[in-house]
Amino acid sequence: MRLANKVILITGSGSGIGRSTALLFAREGATVIVNDLDEAKGIETLKDIHADGGKGHFIHADVTHAESVEQMVDQIIEQYGHIDVLFNNAGISGVGALHEVEPDAWERVIQVNIRGVYLPSKYVLPHMMKRKSGNIINMSSCVAEIGLARRASYSATKGAVLALTKSMQVDYAAYNIRVNALLPGTILTPFVENYLKTSYDNPATAIASIKKRQLSEELGLPEDVAQAALFLASDESKFMMGSPLYIDGGATFGKNA
């Protein structure tokens, strides 16, 4: 029970990494506030938490919409009194070299992946500051560090989230609030499965091309990232502040030849 009695909000936890993390955190004793834009998927995650004997609550909110994020945070504070951990996980992909990306598509990726970290943090932080206690985990990606073909908008946002994490840590350290970032490599989630389907004719070619980027023979799974998130959410990582944590099968720092 590494998260006993903690109240944890995970944005975008109806699917993929967020969902897997929500289930793990609940098994570790947390009360998990599941948030997603997709109500059916969020409720599905909550059902699985309950079926597993865990505690949780679903709140439908769009992380790009200030009013709905503020209402979500108010609702949690009213019901539980505080938020111990905020995991800013919700995000969308953006494919294309810069000149191929249409302005509206560019804007949407920026909105969800950056504003979607800014808004939940903005409304949760005053409560953490008041308690002089808090922990924020921001979802970046190893593309914040490496160049990856045809990911201009996506890598711009994930680089921004990494820089923001470091600045947030400096600003809120005095309030006993930690802020760290997760940098996964390619993880098999609906987000990636969808991209593979739309970008390649042959799934085997797609998997081979992903494997070429990393040192591990295995592809990353949502559970691999959930375990890293568990470490950051728990007090075991109390000396980690403003740091990137890589879960990428060697994609960032390794080279085979």
- Contacts with ligand NAP, residue ranges (CB under 6 A): 11-12, 14-18, 36-38, 41, 62-64, 89-92, 112, 116, 139, 141, 184, 186-187, 189-192
Nearer to ligand NAP, 35 or 237 (CB): 35
Query: Which residue's CB is nearer to ligand NAP, number 132 or number 198?
Result: 198
Q: Considering beta carbons, is residue 133 or 252 the nearer one to ligand NAP?
A: 252
Shortest reach from residue 142's CB to ligand NAP, in Å: 7
- Compute the least distance from the CB of residue 175 to ligand NAP, in Å: 25
**At closest approach, how far in Å is the CB of 113 from ligand NAP?**
6
C-beta of residue 213 within 8 angstroms of C-beta of residue 121: no
Catalytic residue among 118, 123, 154, 246: 154
Contact predicate 65/120, CB 8 Å = no
**Integer Cα distance of 10 and 36 in angstroms:** 9
**Chain position carrying tokens 């200030």:** 66
Give residue 240's identity as a one-letter amino acid code.
Answer: M
> Would residue 246 show up in a list of annotated catalytic residues for this protein?
no
Phi and psi, residue 88, nearest 5°? -80, 85
DSSP string covering 129-189: HHHT-EEEEEE--GGGTS--TTBHHHHHHHHHHHHHHHHHHHHHGGGTEEEEEEEE--B-S
What pairs with residue 35 in β-bridges?
59
> At its nearest, how many Å lie between ligand NAP and the CB of residue 146?
12
Instruction: Please tell me whether residue 13 adopts helix, strand or coil conformation.
Output: coil
Q: Could you tell me the smallest distance in angstroms from the CB atom of residue 116 to ligand NAP?
A: 6
Between CA 48 and CA 26 the distance in angstroms is: 10
Residue (of 223, 134, 143) closest to 177 by Cα position: 134
Q: Which residues contact 242 (CB under 8 A, 6 or more apart)?
A: 165, 166, 168, 169, 170, 179, 180
* Cross-strand bridge partners of residue 96: 151
Cβ nearer to ligand NAP, comparing 5 with 198: 198
Instruction: CB nearer to ligand NAP: give 129 or 146.
Output: 146
Could you tell me which of 175, 40, 80 has the C-alpha nearest to residue 121?
A: 175
Q: Which residues are catalytic?
A: 154
